[in-house]
Chain A
Amino acid sequence: MPKKRTQIQSQDTSQEKIKQNIASQQLENLKTPLQAKTEEETQQKIEIETNNEELAQKIAKREKRQEVKTRAVMAFFMISTLITILCMGHIYTQIMIYCLLVVSIFEILSVTDEPELNEKTNFKYVVLINLVSSQMIFLPNIVLKRSQLDYLFERETIYHKLIFEYHYITVFAMFTFSIIYFVFNLIRYGNYQYQVKGYGISIIMSILGTFVASCYIFTLYQGYYWFVFGVFAVVMNDVCAHQVGRRFGKTKLIKLSPKKTVEGFLGGAFGALLSNFVFSGYLGQWKWLVCQKPNISISMFEVLDCTAGEIFQSSPQAFDLGPFGIYIFNISPVMYHALAISLYASFIAPFGGFMASGFKRAYKKKDFSNTIPGHGGFIDRLDCIIFMGCFLFFYLTQIVYKEQSAIDKAYKSFMDMNQIHQSFVLQLLNPQLLVA
């Protein structure tokens, strides 16, 4: 029996085998046969187990190192691709955001999905139609300002009418088409439960996902600065929270993500606040990030030059720190906005991550898919950034660029009217100008 054991678990090197044989022989010489046999067995078991443990530890360490390597390589690759596409131009970043949106929606749906039923019912076309229709809701209004698009389409052409004047009718027609297509899909392929559930999830995910992507594209056109800083704030918060949590983490934060700790959360928030504050001022000096692009063009790697807005101008301000003396820093007003964005990024944006974890746990998966080696699917990378987009959109339109957004809205309504009414409104507005 003992010999069989050594043969079966023969991962050991020859030296250890010899040692085992010597040990077993010595044991045999000392004890009674039965005692000797049992003691042999237990000792060999322990030795084999320790050998296996050591080997397993070695293998685990090697795997971990490889994992960290692939993670780092993929992270570097993703960041460099992002920077290249940012440099290429606004349109290319917009296309990248749309691609990410499509990929992430299909990833979310694949978690709740059963692949055979999806193929049987050709459900992906239903999902695509939903995506495209929901895209139409946001495209002309939130994403692109009317003033940028008006010279792309002439006023009386059918495209102009469909996209701008009769915008909501187009949206309504597309959604009606989506419902009709879905009903015919139901009839043709059956599987009612799967299809109805899938339709519900796909409509909600399409609308929410498209809304988030549109918010990001809107922030793009306000200047790369907000887009870059928003993403950077969330990433910084993640990194700080991870580091602080690793060193000091004790109390658990939430049931859904067992690795997060309260110390990590708060410490990460504090660290991120400081670094974002400093970094925002530094970023604000780069013309490339700050200039708003007034028109849409396909040219690549354009160089932007403009006078930066008021909020980006830095001026030295004195801080009285009491006994520590008076310090003078160069502060631009944008840094205060950066504080608000950083607070949001630390306290509320992580909930996107928690929700993704909850979603994963609900369907008992570890990662959304295996698209990115080392990191799991795209959503694992993008989950914290989701709610940052909505906040940036609201913050920019309501607080930072409030006047400009009101003017854009009025301009849009104005351009929808016909000529007679337009001249009438112009006359109305004129006297006020004269008075001022």
Chain B
Amino acid sequence: MIAWIVLLNLGHFYNSITTLILSSICYKEIITLSESKQRTNLFGKFMDWYIYGMMIYYVLPMNYLKPKLVESFILPDSFFHLILFQYHSFILFCLFLIALVLFVFSLELDKCQYQVEKLTMNLLGALFVVFIPSFASSNIYKGLYWLLFPHICVVTNDVFSYTLGQIFGRTPLIKISPKKTWEGFIGGLICTYIMAFILPIYLQGSQQMLCSMNEIRIRPFAEVACSNVELEQYSRIISLEMAGIQIHLTRLQFDSLVIATYASLIAPFGGFFASGVKRALNIKDFGNAIPGHGGLTDRFDCHGLMGIFTYFYLNYIIYKDQMVAENLSNVLNSMTNEQRIALLPQIISQIQKLQ
């Protein structure tokens, strides 16, 4: 517990790196799973980590090192800028081609099926364990609250549905996970709602939690400060009328309730999916990293879906204008001057065509 609190206070950058490290450990568990009695040679292990590298390279400029964040220390014409931003898709395509050529050359006639299945499983694992949770890490820069709250929601939902299921549980919920019950499910939902109602009140004025960060600060335990305008948008009151009762919610409470709904209703499907995979592979746990609980993938399976939902909610509903402006500025920055000049008549002609 203390470790989590320390981690939370360390700073945005370190939390981002923690997500990366955790997803790497989950990927390592998946790799060890897909190895079977036929031991892979050195090239097989190289392919595993090559896929991981490609996925990380794909995700890096999108989520971990956004252009806005690294503006200050990656200058426009430096080597890293070229690799990460300008020629990104081209280099990705070349890497993919190299992977393809090497894979085809390494196929051996008697191990063909095993190699193809292993590659598929590793690709899928990389998709679910590296690609999807990386969106969770890009939420951090919009405020630590958006890292803390969704994951607390999922944990609360799990804990309360388990305990209430133990106390009241009668009707089973789903065949894949025989321990879950309907009473636990609904009880977990209600308890998560209660928590989503209370926690924002407590954190409403906290600058450290809610401020968005626009650059990477390597100094740990740094102070986070921002203007009050940002905080005020979360304090706007929304009034809802339900069955004659008027409820006044702050914007933050409303967002938290939406996230709590998703965490209780849909995020558990990530858990069911992981249970299905475990049953298909006839294993009980994904690994042995945590004694008593099984591997890291068991702990973090629901959090990936939660993180990506938070990403979409933040970027498309709360901060939509900011996201669109960022996209446009990224594109404009990568164009040359002549292209920018050529852009304007095009836009004008298109607008005239529409009207």
- Nearest CB in chain A: distance from B263 CB, A: 13
- Nearest CB in chain A: distance from B95 CB, A: 12
Given known contacts A254-B105, A256-B107, is B341 in contact with A200 (CB within 8 Å)?
no
Which residues 165-221 of A sit at the B interface, judged by CB distance below 8 A? 166, 168-169, 172, 176, 179-180, 182-183, 186-187, 192-193, 195-197, 200-201, 203-204
Q: How far is the CA of A431 from the CA of B93 in the complex (A)?
A: 37
In the complex, which range does the number of interface residues on chain A fall in? Answer: 35 or more
User: Which 5 residue pairs of A and B lie closest in terms of their CB atoms, listed nearest first?
Assistant: A362-B112, A196-B280, A413-B328, A362-B113, A192-B280
Known: A183-B269, A403-B338. 5 other contacts (CB 8 A): A193-B282, A355-B100, A361-B112, A403-B339, A406-B335
Residues of B within 8 A of A410 (CB): 328, 331-332, 335, 339-340, 343
The digit string for A393-406, where 1 denotes a CB below 8 A from any CB of B, is 01000100001001
Q: Which residue of A lies closest to B117 (CB)?
A: A197
Residues of A within 8 A of B245 (CB): none
Centre residue among B90, B108, B277, B280 by max chain A CB count within 10 A? B280
Q: Please choose the segment from A223-231, A305-313, A422-430 that sits at the chain B interface, where 4 or more of its residues have CB less than 8 A away.
A: A422-430
Residues of B within 8 A of A179 (CB): 269-270, 273
A411 interfacial by beta-carbon distance below 8 Å: yes
Q: Is the CB–CB distance between A394 and B109 below 8 Å?
A: no
Q: Is the CB–CB distance between B280 and A197 below 8 Å?
A: yes
Residues of B within 8 A of A254 (CB): 104-105
Q: How far is the CA of A433 from the CA of B335 in the complex (A)?
A: 15
Interface of B is mostly: helix
Q: How far is the CA of A429 from the CA of B340 in the complex (A)?
A: 8
Q: Is the CB–CB distance between B347 and A411 below 8 Å?
A: yes
B121 interfacial by beta-carbon distance below 8 Å: yes
Q: Please choose the segment from B158-166, B195-203, B287-295, B319-327 that sits at the chain A interface, where 4 or more of its residues have CB less than 8 A away.
A: B319-327
Q: Is the CB–CB distance between A417 and B328 below 8 Å?
A: yes
Q: Is the CB–CB distance between A416 and B124 below 8 Å?
A: no
Given known contacts A176-B266, A358-B116, A410-B328, is B272 in contact with A398 (CB within 8 Å)?
no
Centre residue among A186, A348, A429 by max chain B CB count within 10 A? A186
Residues of A within 8 A of B309 (CB): 172
- Nearest CB in chain B: distance from A340 CB, A: 14
Q: Is the CB–CB distance between B321 and A417 below 8 Å?
A: yes
Q: How far is the CA of A186 from the CA of B175 in the complex (A)?
A: 9
Q: Which residue of A lies closest to B89 (CB)?
A: A394
Residues of A within 8 A of B100 (CB): 351, 355, 387
Residues of A within 8 A of B341 (CB): 432-433, 436
Q: Is the CB–CB distance between A180 and B266 below 8 Å?
A: yes
